[in-house]
Structure 1
Amino acid sequence: MLRRFLSVFEPFILMLLGTVALASLLPARGIWAGIAAGAADTAIVLLFFLHGAKLSREAIWAGARNWQLHVAVLAVTFVLFPVLGLGMMHLLSGPVAAGLLFLTLLPSTVQSSIAFTAIARGNVAAAVCSASFSNLLGIIVTPALVALLMGGAGAISLSSVEAIVLQLLVPFVAGHLLRPWIGGLVTRYKGVLTIVDRGSILLVVYSAFGAAVVEGLWHRVSPGDLVLIALVCTVLLGIVLVATLLAARALGLSREDAIVLQFCGSKKSLASGVPMAGVLFPAAQVGVVLLPVMLFHQIQLIACAMIARRYADAAAAAARPLTPATIDQR
């Protein structure tokens, strides 16, 4: 099961790296830059519209009952992470430092949080609700935190607010209101949502990195800088994973709910981060800002896959009938 899940992501990771390479070698210029940006904006609107149609009101109300767990996940996502980001961003410099802080302000992932929770035999229903809540609130909370904490690096102007409302919030609300009529189609054709999800990310990455390359991205970011960013992201993830484990014990959560807190709390959404960065930051700055987001995305997949496998092995061992051989092993 773990191998099947990871195999879904491998082609996308390769496509993401290929898009960065294409943008580095053949960035869109002149009129083509405007066309690429327009296509990315259209894809973002469609993406949030479909995600609005996908989220059911039943899931919201059902999940609200497990409030202690959801509050804990949101506290890690929108309080602990930003505090760590403010402290660790000084390890980097310039737009890359802003990118690290922006990373810590993003909501949790949905797909991978649920998948890893399922692999680890955690509370899948609670994971669905927590991840959905995080993404729903992230549409409003992330831009607000950017305005509050990032100052000039990501300050929200009137045009940015308008873009957030028109490109993110309005399509999401419209999709959710139309769910009674189109929700069945969205559920039935999940593959379309996946194509739009990943396609929008690739379009925004190409447009953003192309603009950054034209502005001299790779003259400002060296291979050593990339190694340092990856190291900082790894330390950041490690701190949060340990913190969520300790928090689950302090709150007295069950094993299943503790898994939800660890996986939903430690994730940051590339799917939300890429389009939001395109709205919140100047075009020439987006490519640099997204570097920590993309590196953290790969690191969290690898680390959480290993942790989920260990949880699954432990659960399988605990469920195994006691025999003289298994007693000796214990």
Structure 2
Amino acid sequence: MTEKLSETILHSDLLDEPNENVKLDKIPLFVNDILSDNYEQQQTTERLVAMALHDQDCGLPISQLCLSPLVVMLKSKDEDHSQTACEGLSKLIRKSPNIQKALLKSGFIQMTTFALMEEGVPNHVQTNILVVILDLITSGADIHVMGGLLPILDKLAKEEDSQKQEITMKAQIIQTILTSKSVTVPSPSSYIQELKKKNEEQKKQIEEQKRLNEEYKKQISDLEIQIEEAKPKSGDVAFSINVPTGSYKRKDGEFTYTSTAAQYKVFPIEPVITEGIYKCEIKGNLGTGNDWFGVMKSGLVIPFESHTNTQPYAKDSIFFYAGHVYQNGKPT
């Protein structure tokens, strides 16, 4: 049976027992009580924290997922909630280097710097923040990322308000440790250079995104054109018949031709067809045995008296005749 959460807090001293497994097993239950009264959420949180503490190769995102609720509660105006979060974070920091790294990587120092500087932040919140920072330092976390704290620590260390005596004392301790380890405030020039570098990187990303957007727009436009062209078109198509003068008569106002000599004649119909399906209706005195209908290569000129089914014209023509289709001079 799962131990009651209230009992877990009462017996949190079990975390100091020699058996490391016992310590780590108690931490998830302790954190569990902080997060939610929902049973399913409790079980999920317990598993995540257990993964973060038990697995030496645990990735930072999982550790940060475990820490986020505690960091939020650390800044709570409710003193009990803030104190509970402080105790939970302190125990996690002391037991897991992964937690230390995850906390620093999540921007904890920057967040606490603002919280310590901001007006109206309750004294218990500032005190608990300093406790967690002190635990990070004494547990071996990277203190060189804490240089940004020095200006506000210097201000808090000189605080004369008797109600902030504990805050002043802890600020002085942290300030002394950081100074003794040669931790310094990041220089404005290097900070500005870093901001400029990030700004340039963001500009490049924006320009690249603009370029990609233009490419996408062009692709969309091309696709829209292709779709439009692929749509079936209906209606009559204007056409023309262009043949040299010769042994034939044409009826005025019509495409009606009458041959005046017994010879082969090719009447090419335009426009040139490149794609799609077209229907061409032809009327005439057909049935002479020499009536051929088909298509030929654009630009091909076949003079009168020459046949489309003879070379060099046959290789660029395909025609229907007497129930067969002829291509390159051969029936299919």
Considering Cα pairs closer than 8 Å and 6+ residues apart, tell me whether 1 or 2 has the greater RCO.
1
More strand by share: 2
Q: Which band: TM-score by shorter chain?
A: under 0.3
More helix by share: 1
Q: Larger C-alpha radius of gyration, 1 or 2?
A: 2
Normalised to the residue count of structure 1, the TM-score between the two structures is: 0.19
Normalised to the residue count of structure 2, the TM-score between the two structures is: 0.19
